[in-house]
Structure 1
């Protein structure tokens, strides 16, 4: 494995899986351009699939029934032979190797969670979780301790002595995940792992998988037919149709730049609020006032932008607060030159990684377009309410929000106040000179 390959946990190149007569001849015909449905006596389940799975990512393979996704995942751990192409795990091939070596690869590098749990009904929950360790020859005391630790990790503390039949479907799937984690492999394959669960339990399991992934940093290949699930879980997504991978990309790539009409139709009904983030839709912050600027500068900045308030930032672009045009006028009338005494706290700022679903309440409560900050607290963008709504579906692309706090003070009033302040300052200077 070369130095450039160290970030890749699993690689597939030119994969074909053909069932039926003369599969290798069928592969050659497919390569020559023969349509899938014209292969007499043969069925092509996977056609020329190539992809890489990076270490620590959740790579989702998504497609409708019959698209080839379940066949593909079974090829990744040797449950299905490869008709053509190569698969490497940590740089080592898994096709065409002796059965003993393939079993060792499964024990050490690749474990799997099945749709219908595949638990051993006569063994307790703890014994099911410990089973991979038993296959590795780990002693009983160590197996039991590890099983107890992992059951607590997946929220099943105290259930180790129960039989699988005594658990709900969601709890049984937690046992399946715990068993895969107990194997302590580099790669976790999950074939429609949550599709048999009720919607609420399914979402709970998705949340827990993400939480576990953040803690353990496993490499996960997740199969699903549910686009919302794919968008929620996947760091990257491979979309399959009729045995072929038609697009690979991030959830945002799939949603905003579908590769063809098939993918575009697929994503029409996706819950965008759970996929797009603040960083995807934010705009350049405007207006913004420097913390060291005076009230005159602040007032003119707001006037030029037709806004009645503005965010104030320090030299490092960190949010210092917000100021309104009326407060700036008060400072001018009092002859003050600093903003600090009258700054208002920012009601709420959001992270650029927050999904749109979590932004509605803060957006309604914020008198200014919602402030978006990075990990260091620097202001990197704003989201007007109209932009937030437009991002959720087709509609006007307006990108500005004018109504903030109160209507902006008319320019004529601002000019009059500035003129009065200038006159007062000049009078004060003349008086000082006379003295």
Structure 2
């Protein structure tokens, strides 16, 4: 029978390095946890001695809640724990020490034994690791580990091993509780969602841009997504794949996210007979960046996010990246710029986007001229922008854009 674990402990890492503004990040993190766990049987969330403790009304919900907490940016480790009230433990320990007996730590040993019996699997040896956040406790960490380890060994016959054990029992002594747990799941770290502001993500149907969005979300960005579709209207466009990619990313957000669907027809109609085939791709990318920048300002986004990887395709040469939008007046964040395709694909699998990203989809970039210029010049693109009325194309496209909320 599984142990009741009505408390989940979570640790953070990078926030601890903050200075006077640490409380700002901590409030954001706690609010994000509450939002992510909306609808779950959460009684309260407490910040206790460099840890966050999530108290549940229903212990059976612990595995599900722990899984959601792993997707909260800012958290480093998550673990369901068995809480033991300090009052009873302290009273028993005082009696044992006064009588000159070996410390029993009965409740702690019982929890450790039951967890070991439940979770050890085929482990051949174990170790008890103790940490005292409350130094006023009557025993030192090695003494606690010895008492608990002895009890587990006597009841299970499992030998102890101090180096490289198969199985680890953790004991954490706090002021109000002693927490006992056997496993902890790694979260993604980073900064709390929304703590770095908002940015507009150019979201395609491929592998790269969802990874770029996720990496910047991990740095505290709250994203809006913009996608450019072919077709006369959004009803004719096949955007189900794009919506699914946005939903996958929204799983890591405490709030619903906006997906803006923008038509490319205004660009195509104005570029015919004006933009040569060699510059079709880079001019189309300029149209996307200029549209995204204008929409970003409307949505109070302070930057753009793009999935560019230097030299991966012809439009992402260093010349073309510099020439496409010299007059953008917004920073463009490119978290993948130094990654190769294998690294990006590995991240795509980690975040769960890869199976959707590789589904067949004919995005707008795939139908552009197959032989784009490799060394575009900014002055040429600015001249072509005037000749084809790129600003008019941007305005017309955004007038007919559709916004959908994903969560």
- TM-score for the superposition, normalised by structure 2: 0.27
Return the structure number with greater relative CO, CA threshold 8 A, min gap 6: 2
Larger Rg: 1
- TM-score for the superposition, normalised by structure 1: 0.26
